[in-house]
Amino acid sequence: MGVLDYILAGIMEALTGNPALVLGPIVLSWPVLLVALGFLTGVLIGATPGLSGPFAMALALPILISIFGFTPDALLPVLGFLVGIMKGATVGGAVPAILFNTPGTPDAFMTTLDGYPMAKKGQGGKALRVAHFASVSGDTFSDIVLFVCAPFLAISIEAFLGLPEKAALMILSLSFVAVVVGNDTWKGIMAACFGLLAASIATGTDSYPRLSMGSDVLAAGLPTIAVVIGVLVVGEIFTSFEDMWTSAREKRPEPAAADPGDSTLTMAKRRRLLPFIGTSMTIGTVIGALPGIGTTLAAALGYTAGRKMHKGATRFGEGAPEGIAATEAANSAVSGANLIPALSLGIPGNVAAVFIILAADTIGGFNPGPSVFRSTADEVNPELVVAFALFTLMVAANLMNWITGAWFMRLLGGLIRIPKQVLLPIVLLLTITSVYVQSAKMSDVYVLLFFGAAGYLMRRTGVPILPFVIAYILTDPLETTIRAAFEASGSDPWFLFGGVIAPAFLACAAAIVLGAGWLRGTPAPVPAPAPASEKETTID
């Protein structure tokens, strides 16, 4: 099969391979249906402060697996729903930031700088349209880069890197994530080591389980989904509970009505935004291709670049639409680019990519890495068909975003009024239920709560979460690669230092640790949210 044959096979697999509804010549497949449902869920989650796309992906993954099972037909519907959430939450996150000066994520703080002043002028609808246009433009551009670069990078890796080089590359990626994420190098390294330790329980090729302490539950290994969801979701819920209990409870007045004002976004206004969107989405794509950096830095750099370009009468920070466009294009462009190392190397670049890899590993039939994009004339590579089907689902999510995203954003402005004391217990109950339903074992719930407590302690002590999660996911492929390289070298203890490429990767890892301060840079100042009495606006 040629490349074109694989592309057509992937498109057909995504659109017709698993039909949910057939009406004559019209076929609605489960993957496409789940993309649409995931997108709507993502917009809803993104518009709710305290929740995020990865949060919803963590909640949905075990439920989806329990519904669709572990058959090959389950893979694309599950991946489609996760992709839909990822796309929708990126767009929906601008709603509370613009309308109520309540950013749900750190990168959304930059959106409030110009979005909330526009909303106070009665231009909330226009600000949301600008945010949607910039966000979906950056996301689409990033996906195009993913489609082009991921296969090229994977083929290059497969052609030029052997087992020692691949092991050294994973060590380099772990070092980069551990150093760049957070404000303390050693805490990042400690988090990564904790992830390696947790993943080493009852794993490996030895017949005797490691670190199980005689427990039959630990002898089978820790349930990956329970560990990851515990640290990411339950730990955040516990932290939010404490913040809610210890903070003074303010009585917020009802939002007052404001003059709707100008809420149109003409083609001429869109064209004036294009230079800012183009610059920021390029910055976001480059940042996103580097694992672990995330959207906050991309939003700050995009906003800074846009401010330097801006020559209009309304300055940045006073309600300039260009400020919203620069920020949203940058942070949205990160999402697709973060899948470049995930699909081509098997190395997750952010939390959303973690759940894409988890779904693929749990269901089977698709192993992200260089072998996915291997194409031979004498046999069919089913993983390459799945890869192009996944790309098709991402295009479908983007099309839905272009067509309906702005309408749903304007529809969901009232969600930010949901009290946390109502929302958080519901989310915690759903999280516990989803993990139990997936395995029907109370031991998984205990693991979930244990790592939820660990995630809470990590947050309170300033230990970053992402290095732990990525290290936990990478432990098994890293160990497998190291063992295979060691055996292939004839048990040479210095097998990682042979050749040129592997030592160069290891030297880069050491340089990253030593140059941590320069890599992390000075964090951009984050504006504080306005007092509750100032949070007044309307939505058209």
DSSP 351: H
pTM of this structure: 0.77
Average pLDDT over residues 484-497: 84
- List alpha helices for 289-320, DSSP H: 295-309
Q: Residue 22 — very low, low, confident or very high, per pLDDT cuts 50/70/90?
A: confident
Task: Give me the phi and psi of 26, to 5 degrees please.
Answer: -90, 125
Residues in contact with 46: Cβ distance below 8 Å, sequence separation at least 6, in sequence order: 52, 53, 88, 89, 90, 91, 92, 93, 94, 95, 104
How far apart CA 337 and CA 89 sit, in angstroms, is 16
Q: Residue 413 — very low, low, confident or very high, per pLDDT cuts 50/70/90?
A: low
Condensed to tens digits (0 to 9), the pLDDT of residues 495-538 reads 888 788 888 988 988 888 887 666 555 444 444 444 433 443 33
How far apart CA 197 and CA 186 sit, in angstroms, is 16
Distances in Å between the Cα of 422 and the Cα atoms of 99, 419, 427 are 22, 5, 9
Task: Label residues 391-427 b or e (16+ Cβ within 10 Å = b).
Answer: bbbbbbbbebbeebbbebbbebbebbeeeeeebbeeb
Condensed to tens digits (0 to 9), the pLDDT of residues 118-153 reads 888 878 788 888 888 998 899 899 889 888 888 888
Mean pLDDT over each residue of the chain, to the nearest integer: 79
How far apart CA 382 and CA 375 sit, in angstroms, is 10
Res 294: pLDDT:
61
Residues in contact with 209: Cβ distance below 8 Å, sequence separation at least 6, in sequence order: 201, 202, 218, 219, 221
pLDDT of residue 243 exceeding 60, the answer is yes
Q: What is the sign, positive or negative, of the torsion defined by CA atoms of 39, 43, 44, 50?
A: positive
User: Is 195 in contact with 475 (CB distance < 8 Å)?
Assistant: yes
Q: What is the 3-state secondary structure (H, E, C) of 119-160?
A: HHCCCHHHHHHHHHHHHHHHHHHHHHHHHHHHHHHHHHHHHH
pLDDT of residue 291 exceeding 70, the answer is no
Residue 321 or 51, more confident: 321
Residues in contact with 95: Cβ distance below 8 Å, sequence separation at least 6, in sequence order: 46, 47, 128, 409, 412, 413, 415, 416
Strand 26-29 vs strand 19-23: parallel, antiparallel, or unpaired?
Answer: antiparallel
Res 534: pLDDT:
40
Res 129: pLDDT:
87
User: Is 1 in contact with 48 (CB distance < 8 Å)?
Assistant: no
Residue 69 or 457, more confident: 457
Give the amino acid at 352: A
